[in-house]
């Protein structure tokens, strides 16, 4: 089955491999009193094994993502060898609030998937699985299985303070003729995916380099 799908995609751009895999994103507030969402859901129309890998087969999943984690990791220089990879410690769940929000997100995802809209396609739950029910069991599952969503920002943050790498024109401080124009200049993690903001940063950088005037404001916005 797998090799057939590879051939279909390579020759005709058809088949399962044309599927973007993440069809729907939803942003929710775990507390109605919040002024903005703190959890994102991603609907995955494929079977996901308990080990976290996606494979062939019938199934679906609702991934829970923490939008504004409080835990902060570190990136350190390993040694004097410039080719040596850095030491990265994400410090996942170092702040207990992160663990509690993810736990609420898992319970909310289960509530969503238990609604009548899913009755015709629902199968047995595989992750976390029916054996995991109590708050502590859910927390332990999160501790063992959580991972990054690969949306890093801030390694070359924009600003005017001593820790800023680039200025408001995206020019690297202390260097001539060098700018940074990607998600690394975002000072703080945004509450969502970074693709669209990164495209906007690139377009804005192009305008600044070409000295284009900004477009007029849109009425009512």
Q: Which residues are catalytic?
A: 151
Angle at 106 between CA 191 and CA 127, to 5 degrees: 120
Distance CA 66, CA 64 (A): 7
Helical H runs in 124-194?
A: 135-145
Residues 6+ apart with CB under 8 A from 20: none
Q: Give the dihedral sign, CA 71/89/78/152.
A: negative
Read off the tokens for 53. Answer: 């890998």
d(CA 61, CA 43): 6
């Amino acid at each position: 089955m797998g090799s057939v799908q590879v051939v279909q995609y390579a020759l005709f751009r058809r088949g399962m491999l044309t599927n973007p895999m993440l069809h729907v994103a939803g942003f929710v507030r775990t507390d109605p009193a919040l002024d903005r969402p703190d959890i994102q859901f991603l609907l995955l129309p494929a079977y996901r094994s308990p080990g976290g890998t996606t494979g062939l087969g019938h199934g679906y999943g609702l991934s829970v993502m923490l939008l504004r984690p409080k835990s902060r990791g570190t990136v350190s220089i390993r040694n004097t060898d410039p080719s040596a990879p850095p030491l990265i410690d994400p410090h996942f769940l170092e702040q207990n609030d992160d663990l509690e929000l993810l736990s609420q997100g898992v319970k909310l995802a289960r509530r969503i998937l238990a609604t009548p809209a899913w009755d015709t396609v629902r199968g047995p739950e595989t992750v976390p699985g029916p054996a995991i029910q109590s708050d502590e069991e859910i927390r332990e599952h999160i501790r063992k299985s959580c991972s990054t969503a690969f949306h890093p920002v801030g390694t070359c943050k924009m600003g005017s303070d001593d820790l800023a790498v680039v200025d408001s024109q995206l020019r690297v401080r202390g260097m001539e003729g060098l700018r940074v124009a990607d998600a690394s200049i975002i000072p703080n993690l945004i509450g969502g995916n970074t693709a669209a903001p990164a495209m906007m940063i690139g377009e804005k950088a192009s305008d600044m380099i070409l000295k284009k005037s900004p477009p007029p404001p849109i009425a009512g916005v």
